[in-house]
Structures are given as C-alpha cells and as structure tokens.
Amino acid sequence: MASKLYEERSQKIKDTVNFKNERVTTCFMGQAAPAAHMNVKMKDFAMNSDIMIKTTLDYINEIDAITSVDCLNIGVNGMRSDHSLPMAWLSKIKMPGRELPDDSLWQVVETNVLTPEDYDVIIEQGFETVFNRIFPTLVDMNEFQESIAYQQKNGQNNVELFINSDLPVVNSGFASPPFEVLCGGRSMSQFFMDCYKIPDKIEKAIEVMLPGSIQSMLSSINPLCGRGAWVGGWRGASALVSPKIWNRLVWPGMKAMGLALIETDNIATFHLDQCWDRDIERFLEIPEKKSIINTDGMTDLRKARKILGEHVAIMGDVPAPLLATGTTQEVKDYVTKLIDDIGPKGLFITAGCDAPANTKFENMVAMFQAANDWK
C-alpha cells in the first residue's frame, strides 16, 4: 500500500507534465553516481543487481532526508548495462572489473557489427533475423538469461522497495528508435556515411523496424513503476545530423514512438543528448501537455520554453561538468537562474542527461535544495 506522500509525489509528476504544478519538481537521475559516495566499488555496483539497487536506494534516501526528491527519472531495476544497452545500440559494453579497471565506468565499444548487406536482410526478412544473429556476439547469453530470470523473480519486489521509500518513477520503459539502433550497430561514422550514400535503403529499413520498436517499448513499461518511457535521441541530435537526414530518418521514428506512448496513456519523455535548438519547434507536433523533453545542458532551455510555451514539459539540465567539478554555490546559482528564467510550471529539475559517476554528493544535494527553496 503506497503512502500518502508517494501518492502526492505521483500526482505531482502528472501535474508537472500538465503544467498544473505550483512548485518545481525534483527528479533524480544518476545511474552511476551512487557508487563512489556509498563506498561501493564500481565493479560491484555495475555487476551485481542487488548491490546496484540497494546502493542507489540508500543514496537517494540520504538526499531525500536532507531535501525532498520528488521522483526518479527512470526506474532502477538492477539490469546490468552490458545486458540492457546492447539491445538499444547493438554494441558491446566493456564493464568494470571485467575488461576495465575495478573503479572505471562501463563504456560502449562502438564497432560496425552491422554490415551494409544487413539493411537488405532487415528489409526482406525483418529486424529479428539480424538482431538474433548479432545479439549473442555482444552479450554472454548465459548471463543474459540469468539477468532475465532475476528480473522475473525479483522485479516486483524491487519496484516495491522504491514505492516503500515514497519514490515514484516517471519512466519505467526505455526505447531506442531504429535510427539509434542502426547507428550503434554500424558505428556512428559508418552509419552517417550510409545516410548520405543509401538513404532510401535506410529509410526502408527504419520503416520495417518501427512497429517492432514500438511494441517492444510499450511492453517495457511497468505501470506500477512509472507510466512512461524514454524515447532516446542520442546520435540523432540536431547538432549532429544535417536537416535532410534528421527530417527523413530521425524525426519520423521518434515522433511515431512518442505518439504511441501518448495514445496508450503513457508519458513520452524525449531523452535528448546534445543540442536540439535547430529542431526544437518540431515538438509542437506532439499532443500538448503529454510529453517531456529531457535535455543535458546543451539545448537552450530559455529558447525552448519560448517556442514550446506550455506544450511540452522540460526536464533538465544541470550539466555534468558542473556536478563533477563545480561548487555548491555554482550549482545553486545555475538551478535558481534556470527556474527564474523559465518558471517552475512544467519543470523537473534534474542532472543533464545523467549525473556522472564522480558527481560530488554535496552538489547533488545543492541541485535539489535550490529547486525546493526557489520562491
């Protein structure tokens, strides 16, 4: 049975997306941030689901005891990065304590596991044929099966741990649009070349992949743990690709996935890395007060608010370098100025993209304090 505080915070998430919130909403995002502060080796944190969940929960509770954390951006289910990220980016992940030093952060190895011929296979036989061939080369399938079994056995209990700590979650799902999947599989430079040389083929492959991507995104949502999903915008950022590529190969997929979430009464959170200034007005094409843009400090949020008004909520965007190297006063100044400039309505304050592993704990607290103290 969820507490009154949990229900209030859950309502605040909905109110913020709907621009009915009175005060700014504080939102935790820092997948790797807890380990160092809680004196847990990154190797243990990243490789052991139970340690990851307990450490993250203890870390957030420690902040929450000092200043309110209203919600989490994305649910923490203990799935290891080397099992979850290859599904999104068709890339191998190097892990601490395995290929990397014990206290290193996990990192994506970007190699072209996808060949140009694979576009034809996707078009003719479907994406599953290619995925089923490549995925076992990216992960240890025995470990992956254990990971799935862990989720089936412990998933619900882990969700309840967060509910019992009065911590609702905005997004329980995570989706990588076909453009991003192909980009990860081909590697960025090769894929961008393909976008110039064979755009027709890529467009067709994306069309074939999209229904499966939507279905998989919707099935990843656990309504008990956040009625929403990320739609990732990483390599498809406006700052990275030309308008020609963006309009034809990036935005149609992202938009379709966002609309599918909204049609099924879920929140669409567009997780946007890099700068999206050029195309920010395109988010007006999404039904109003149903979605969030979740930015990383590089998109101009003043401009975004001016253009988007009360159409799309904003989740952002304290920059990673500031959290890692700045002073508490600098963090507070950043947050206060952001709220001064774009107002508290429809605003979640969180780390830009993801608080880094070397985030100073006092800076994480300062970020939330500044938001909670804003008048």
Partner 1 sequence: MAKISELLANLEMDQLMEAVQNELDNGTDPLEILKEGEAGMIKVGELFSSGEYFVSDLMMSGEMFKEVGEMLEPHLAGKTNEVLAKVVLGTVEGDIHDIGKDLVYIMLKSGGFDVIDVGVDAKPEAFVTALKESGATILALSCLLTTCYDSILNTVKAVEAAGLRDQVKIVIGGGPTDESVVKYTGADAVGDDAQSAVRLCKEML
**Residues interacting with partner 1, by CB under 8 A?**
94, 101, 104-105, 107, 109-110, 187-189, 192-193, 195-197, 238-243, 245, 319-326, 356-358
Nearer Cβ to partner 1 (242/264) = 242
Nearer Cβ to partner 1 (223/243) = 243
How near is the Cβ of 90 to partner 1 at its closest, in Å?
Answer: 16
Nearer Cβ to partner 1 (109/148) = 109
Beta bridge partners of residue 292, listed in sequence order: 269, 313
How near is the Cβ of 28 to partner 1 at its closest, in Å?
Answer: 18
Nearer Cβ to partner 1 (49/187) = 187
How near is the Cβ of 324 to partner 1 at its closest, in Å?
Answer: 4
How near is the Cβ of 131 to partner 1 at its closest, in Å?
Answer: 23
Nearer Cβ to partner 1 (218/324) = 324
How near is the Cβ of 55 to partner 1 at its closest, in Å?
Answer: 17
How many residues would you count in the chain? Answer: 375
CA angle 15, 20, 26 (to 5 degrees): 55
SS3 for the chain is CCCHHHHHHHHHHHHHHCCCCCCCEEEECCCCCHHHHCCCCHHHHHHCHHHHHHHHHHHHHHHHHHCCCCEEEECCCCCCHHHHHHHHHCCEEECECCCECCCCCCEEECCCCCCHHHHHHHHHHCHHHHHHHHHHHHCCHHHHHHHHHHHHHHHHHHHHHHHHCCCCEEECEEECCHHHHHHHHHCHHHHHHHHHHCHHHHHHHHHHHHHHHHHHHHHCCCHHHCCEEEEEECCCCCCCCCHHHHHHHHHHHHHHHHHHHHHCCCEEEEEECCCCHHHHHHHHHCCCCCEEEEECCCCCHHHHHHHHCCCCEEEEEECHHHHHHCCHHHHHHHHHHHHHHHCCCCEEEEECCCCCCCCCHHHHHHHHHHHHHCC
How near is the Cβ of 125 to partner 1 at its closest, in Å?
Answer: 28
Nearer Cβ to partner 1 (86/168) = 86
How near is the Cβ of 331 to partner 1 at its closest, in Å?
Answer: 12
How near is the Cβ of 240 to partner 1 at its closest, in Å?
Answer: 4
Nearer Cβ to partner 1 (21/31) = 31
Nearer Cβ to partner 1 (155/297) = 297
How near is the Cβ of 216 to partner 1 at its closest, in Å?
Answer: 27
Nearer Cβ to partner 1 (85/322) = 322
295 vs 259: CA distance, rounded Å: 19
